[in-house]
Amino acid sequence: MPLTNMAYAQQFQSGDWEITSSTGERFSFSDADWNIAIETPVSVWPAQPSTYLVTPREDDDGPLYWRTNILAWGICADGVLRPITTDPHDDNNSWTVLHPDGRVETSRGDGYENIDDWLAIHRTSQSAA
């Protein structure tokens, strides 16, 4: 069933979903299948070169980060913007992006002028934990 035909969606305590189409047909989905459906991009456009998904990590030499190329951006069926990467472990629900101009932005809307500012905040929050 195309999600554009969805008239109503209800989640049960079991986590399963029942979807009613615009024609009154009912469909059942597991929670996992529902998440796959709503996280599927409905519109995609290429990311600028040198756009990376970054993840902090600590090392003996100080704070560092992993980076993964962002190939594209997708607006998903649930209306959420998600980066599209080659990383199979990327959950796309909480992310941090290093833009080509050096700015860093998180999925929560936090913004930093550069990677060092972001790492400093991350280091501070980790030491407070």
pLDDT in tens, 9-24: 898 988 899 989 989 9
Kindly state whether residues 79 and 24 are assigned to the same domain. Answer: no
- 128 is written with which tokens? 């407070």
Kindly state whether residues 83 and 34 are assigned to the same domain. Answer: no
Domain count, the chain: 2
Instruction: Assess whether pLDDT exceeds 70 at residue 91.
Output: no
Kindly state whether residues 78 and 110 are assigned to the same domain. Answer: yes
Give the number of other Cβ atoms within 10 Å of residue 42's Cβ: 13
Q: For the chain, how long is the longest CA-to-CA vector? A: 61
Instruction: Assess whether pLDDT exceeds 80 at residue 128.
Output: no
Q: Which of these, 83, 2, 86, lies nearest to 38 by C-alpha position?
A: 2
Kindly state whether residues 34 and 46 are assigned to the same domain. Answer: no
Instruction: Determine contact, residues 125/118, Cβ cutoff 8 Å.
Output: no
Kindly state whether residues 100 and 123 are assigned to the same domain. Answer: yes
Kindly state whether residues 60 and 112 are assigned to the same domain. Answer: yes
Domain that holds residue 98: 42-128
Kindly state whether residues 18 and 69 are assigned to the same domain. Answer: no
Kindly state whether residues 33 and 46 are assigned to the same domain. Answer: no
- Report d(CA 98, CA 50) in Å as an integer: 8
Kindly state whether residues 25 and 46 are assigned to the same domain. Answer: no
Kindly state whether residues 53 and 102 are assigned to the same domain. Answer: yes
Kindly state whether residues 93 and 31 are assigned to the same domain. Answer: no
pTM score of the predicted model: 0.71
Kindly state whether residues 60 and 122 are assigned to the same domain. Answer: yes
Instruction: Determine contact, residues 52/97, Cβ cutoff 8 Å.
Output: yes
- How would residue 88 be classed by pLDDT, with cut points 50, 70 and 90? low
